[in-house]
Every structure is written in structure tokens, then in C-alpha cells.
Structure 1
Amino acid sequence: MGMNFRGSSGAWLELADMPGLFDTNQPLVREKTEKYSLPFGDVEFRQIVLPETYIVFGDMCIRDRRLQMEAPDFRDIVELHFVLTGKGVITQHVANKPLVLAPNRQNMFYTPVFSGCAEYDPDVPYRFFEIHFTREKFLHLVQDCGPTLQTFCDHIIAGEQMQLSEQGIPSNSATQQCIHSILNCPYQGGLKLLFLQSKCVELLVLQAEAYDQYLKNNQKSALKSNYDRDRIQFVRDYLIANAVAPPSLSELAQLSGLNEFKLKKGFREVFNDSIINYVNEYKLLQAKEQLLSHVPIKHVAEELGYSSIQYFSKMFKKKFGVSPGLFTRDAQD
């Protein structure tokens, strides 16, 4: 039950199969990584299959700007899709409505029958993360979850195609951290299954929460054009590149060409976070990664621009509930 792709060469290829998703007689956690060098590009899929849940991380460098895609079988699944890098547009032939794929955005789909085309930016790798729940599993998880998901569920029950948003909704640092935890699960056996199942449900909760916030923020949007949204994305990329010594709000406004009000409100609309908190969260996640790689605490604090080890330790403990020293010792055990 995979997806077929066809580039300009004209040959259909089946990729990213979901083996035994509905088979209860399989091992509880199965993983595999597949790499392909194809006429239309190079792709890699890392797949994790749990009971009634399928996880995939994809890394694609597409040379053909336009691909044809189709699902050869009925796909009675709900997909949570997270764009990590790259951008593109997918158009399904039946609906004939474009679905915009943009970095740091997420969406939810129910597409039992799919046939369409996709256009990707050939200059930037398209990296994505997906969680697929079987229809029954999803409906069980979200029953009585309120109006946010009720309309979505009504379409699923009716067997009708549905998506949360045509443009996608913002992914925040909590979402990114949850994805990172899934891809770097430290457990084995039964604990691994419990951990991955809990994180998949956590991502579903975070997405529903993000959609609620997205609707509230966009009752009166500060961003009036695609240009405004592109400038907000530029600001985010600039902040990440200069996270050690981030620019002031006035400097960001001057760099982006947006006034400070539009910049602050627009950034929160797109990333569901304030500018300063987004940078702080990013730095702490980077600190965690460096500590896991056995970089000394003093070096981590200095490299990430903290004024002192004491202040870094305070912020780290506030975020993760444990001091950097204890975190490092636990990671080494």
C-alpha cells in the first residue's frame, strides 16, 4: 500500500510501501530504511510500523520539477504531514485544488483515493515527516475532542476527502522536538512501542492545538500577501542563522522590510510563538543535542551565547526539568 511516482521518464515506480499496517500478527515495532537513485531524483525513506500506526521520514532531492503521483490501492488512513525543509504544491485530479507545502508547516489529510501531480523546488531538498493512523484508530483517539476535529471526522465517516488547511498550519518548537524524539527513540522492545505510541498521540494533540490557535490568530491576519509570509520565513531563517547573537526587533524590521507590529504579529501567526521565545527554544534544543554528543557544559553555554553557565543552567532546567550536569550524567549511563 505505497505511493506510485512517475517523472518525465514515463515509468511508474512504487515507493514507501506500508507493509503489514493492518496485520496484527506482525512484530510490534518494525523499521526499515530504503534509498533510491531514480531518473527524477534521489529519495530516502525511513519507515517505522506500529500496530495501526505508520511513521515515515522522507528526504527527497527531486530533479524533475513535476511528478505524477497515485495511490494504487484504497488508503483508509489519516495522515499527519509535517514539512521540515523545502516547498512544493500537490494537486489532486478529482478535487483540482492545490495543496501548498511550505517549510515548518503541518497538515492533516484523509485521502482514501489519490491521483494527482506534485511540483517541488529542485534547489532545496524536500524533507518531511508523516504519521499515518488507520481510520478506526484515528476515530477512536479523537472521539469527543470537540468541534476542532469533529468536521474532519464527519468527512472521514462519510468516506470523503478532507484536509485541515489548504496552506497548512504553523509547526512550533514543541512539534519539532516531538518529531526529533521519535526519530531518536532511546528505547528497545516494549518500551520503544509505548514511547513511540505516546509520541504519535502527542503530535496529534499538538496539531489539534496548533489548528485551534491558527484559527484564532487568523480571524484578522496581519499578513496581507504571500510577500509578507515570505518575509516572515526570511526572518525565521535569519534568526536561526544568528541565534547566538540575535538581532533586535528594530533590526529585524529593517532587514525584513516589515514594520515592527506586522513583524511581531505575523511571526506569531506563522510560528505560533513570539520571536524571542522561538530563538530561546531553538538554542535550548541545540544545547540538548550538544550535551548528548558529550560537548562540555561550559563550551555549550559559550558557543550558544549564554552570559554565564549559571544562567544557561537555569534556562535548561526550566525547559527540561533537569540541570545540564544531571542530564549529561544520565545520558552517559
Structure 2
Amino acid sequence: MTITLSQQEFDGLFEETVEPSQHPDPDDAMDIVYKYPRRLGQGYWRRIQLRPGLELIIGNLQMRDRMIILQPEQEHDALEYHFHFSGEHYDQYRSVAGGEYSFLGSGLDPKQTSDCSDKHSFLEINIYMQPESLYSFAANTEGQLPQQLQPWIRQSHQTYYCRCGRATPAMYTIARQIIQCPYQGIAKRMYLEGKALELMGMLVAQEIEINDGNYRLHTLKPDVVERIYHARDILLKRLHNPPSFMELSRAVGLNDYLLKQGFRQVFGTTAFSYLHHYRLEQARQLLDTGDLKVSEIANIVGFVSHSYFTAAFRKKFGFSPKQYQMQQKKSV
């Protein structure tokens, strides 16, 4: 079963059914556990205000059903580090599964559809930092951020900065230490604040490496990167009959392990997940034209099963292909 809610409906349901139910740390009034609405699932959100401008949220949830939230255009006023131990969340701008993270800057949060799967429990942490806090750490004497970090802070009419990635072993370790914090009171607050800032420091280091052109590809030789791009091109040219992974690795002259690891480094996902989402994005663009039937589009982008195409499209975009096509026609 799929539950579809507007952002306003979701917030209203949450406000009606969730009350501060527990202070897990009797020495910290700013550490509150909120039970999740029973209609949506079970579990909790634990919200810890570490200091003004820095907040930590731990989510441990089991969704009752798949949930789609229709989010309006709104302002995203904080920097957000979102790490998943388990569960999957995706929208038009990001996809985060177990062992992955997303980082969002401040700016405009566009109208979009957010999808939370019902297949897995969710264990995640979120760190929210107000821009003022970032400036207090990183601004120079003239009050400016380093050039590499300036895209993190955008105006309210500019779409927010977003980057997703696979968590490094160091990130995973720090996130796990946050979940397993053994302290209470002031010791807990100091410990968690230090861990939250450590994770943000890792993001800063990555951002600097990205801007310097050293991140992701620094462990791969140029000819290997070229072969990985060639593998991607082969997949996109063979939408109807993609090669097996072994065939693909032989075609580009890489062993399967190096191709697998290298593809994820370069593109941030597996080869066939990349192909899957490319097919769906091509289908969406074809649906935008309104000139073709859904069954024809499914064939064009390489889906043999029309029912599977419909299910996959709905999972990614929140609507069936037919519903999406009808919406596009109404908006013209």
C-alpha cells in the first residue's frame, strides 16, 4: 500500500499524533524523543539541540507503508548532513540508501516528490547547521567563506546545493559513535557536538578536494577512468540488450572488481542502477512530449515488462507513467 500526502498533511498528522514523550537524558531538557505516528509506522525521532545553530536528529523508524510526500517549493534555511545506516529515501534531487549520505546547503528547496520505501527499517542521523554557525568556523577576517564552500550558502531564490555520496569508513565510524554515545548530561552534549563537527569537517575536506579536482578519481589512473566512461557509454547504447557485467568488463578491458568499484567512484552508484535510472529519466522526458503511448515509451527505453516499467516509474517519480503524462498535458 502507498500513502500519498502533501507536506501540509504530513506536518498536520505529525503534530496531531506526536508529542514529546520522553527525555532519555534526565540531565538534558534539550534532548527529546518523539514517537512516530502509528498511522505511518513505528519508531521515533530523537532531537538534540546541541547549541544555537547546531542540531542533531536520530531517526529509528519502521514504515508501515510506502509513503510519498508532495513537497511544495520552500526555503531550505540550514545546512543538512543526512546519513543512512539503513532504509532508502529519494526524490528528484537525491537518493540516499544504506551507507550513503546527502548534503544540502541553504537556498530554495524546489517543488518535488519525496519517496520513502516500506521495504526496510530506517536508521539515520541528520545534522543541521545554520549558516551563521558555518561562518563562525570558516569565515576569514573579512567575513567571507573560502571559495570552495561558498556554493553551500545560496539566496532564497536559488536552488540549494546538493551532493550525495557513499560514506567513507571514517564517516561511518563517526556516525556509529553518535548512535552509540555512552554519556549523559554535559559530557554527552560535548561528545555529540564534537562528533557532529567532525563529520562536517570531513565534508569540508571533501569539498576542497572536489574543487581542486582530486576527489574520487585520485585513486584511479586516467586510462582506467576513460575505460569506465566507455563502459557507461556501452550501457546507454544498449538499452534494449545490456551486456552482463562480465561482458561489460571484458569489452572495456578491466577486471570486474575494478570496474565495479571504479564505476561507483566515478558515478556514485552501480553500473546497472545508473542504467535503470537513466532509462526512467529518458522515459520521463518522452512522457513530457505527450506524443507517444506509455507502452511505446516503455519499449523505447528498454523495459520488456510494461508492469515493471510502471512500478519502477511510480517508485522514482511518485506517479504512474499515465498519471504523469496526464498531469503534463494539464499543465500545458
> Within 5 Å, which residues of 2 pair with 1:132-151?
132-144=128-140, 146-151=146-151
1:217 counterpart letter in structure 2? R
Aligned partner of residue 162 in structure 1, secondary structure: coil
> Within 5 Å, which residues of 2 pair with 1:107-126?
107-111=102-106, 114=109, 115-126=111-122
Aligned partner of residue 180 in structure 1, secondary structure: helix
Deviation (angstroms), 1:88: 3.0
Change (3 A) 1:118 1:200: same
1:130 aligns with 2:132: no
- Which segment drifts farther, 54-63 or 32-41? 32-41
> Within 5 Å, which residues of 2 pair with 1:70-219?
76-91=77-92, 98-111=93-106, 114=109, 115-144=111-140, 146-153=146-153, 155=154, 160-165=158-163, 168-213=164-209, 216-218=215-217
Aligned partner of residue 185 in structure 1, secondary structure: coil
Aligned partner of residue 46 in structure 1, secondary structure: strand
Structure 2 distance, partners of 1:170, 1:81, is 12
TM-score by length of 1: 0.54
Contact residue 149 and residue 208 of structure 1 kept, 8 A: yes
Match of 1:12 among 4, 9, 17: 9
Deviation (angstroms), 1:164: 3.4
| 5+ residue gaps, structure 2 | 21-26, 236-245, 269-332
Q: Report the equivalent of 2:292.
A: none
| 5+ residue gaps, structure 1 | 1-5, 20-26, 92-97, 229-249, 272-333
Change (3 A) 1:111 1:264: closer
Structure 2 distance, partners of 1:127, 1:226, is 35
Q: Report the equivalent of 1:64.
A: 66
TM-score by length of 2: 0.54
1:139 counterpart letter in structure 2? Y
Aligned partner of residue 204 in structure 2, secondary structure: helix
Structure 2 distance, partners of 1:33, 1:58, is 10
Contact residue 169 and residue 270 of structure 1 kept, 8 A: no
Deviation (angstroms), 1:118: 0.9
Count of aligned pairs: 223
Q: Report the equivalent of 1:41.
A: 41
Structure 2 distance, partners of 1:59, 1:113, is 28
Deviation (angstroms), 1:45: 0.9
Aligned partner of residue 34 in structure 1, secondary structure: strand
Deviation (angstroms), 1:75: 5.3
Change (3 A) 1:201 1:226: farther
1:262 aligns with 2:264: no
1:261 counterpart letter in structure 2? L
1:66 counterpart letter in structure 2? I
1:32 counterpart letter in structure 2? I
Deviation (angstroms), 1:260: 3.5
Aligned partner of residue 39 in structure 1, secondary structure: coil
Change (3 A) 1:163 1:83: farther
Aligned partner of residue 66 in structure 2, secondary structure: coil
1:117 counterpart letter in structure 2? T
1:51 aligns with 2:47: no
Q: Report the equivalent of 1:320.
A: none
Aligned partner of residue 149 in structure 1, secondary structure: helix
Deviation (angstroms), 1:173: 1.4
Deviation (angstroms), 1:225: 4.7
Structure 2 distance, partners of 1:121, 1:87, is 6
Percent sequence identity is 14
1:163 counterpart letter in structure 2? Y
RMSD between superposed Cα atoms in Å: 4.1
Change (3 A) 1:29 1:191: farther
Structure 2 distance, partners of 1:116, 1:177, is 32
Contact residue 171 and residue 210 of structure 1 kept, 8 A: no
Deviation (angstroms), 1:76: 2.8
Contact residue 78 and residue 105 of structure 2 kept, 8 A: yes
Q: Report the equivalent of 1:276.
A: none
Structure 1 distance, partners of 2:62, 2:71, is 16
Q: What are the superposed Cα offsets for residues 107-140 of structure 1, whole Å, 9 maximum, x if unpaired? A: 2213556453211232122332110012211222
Aligned partner of residue 139 in structure 1, secondary structure: helix
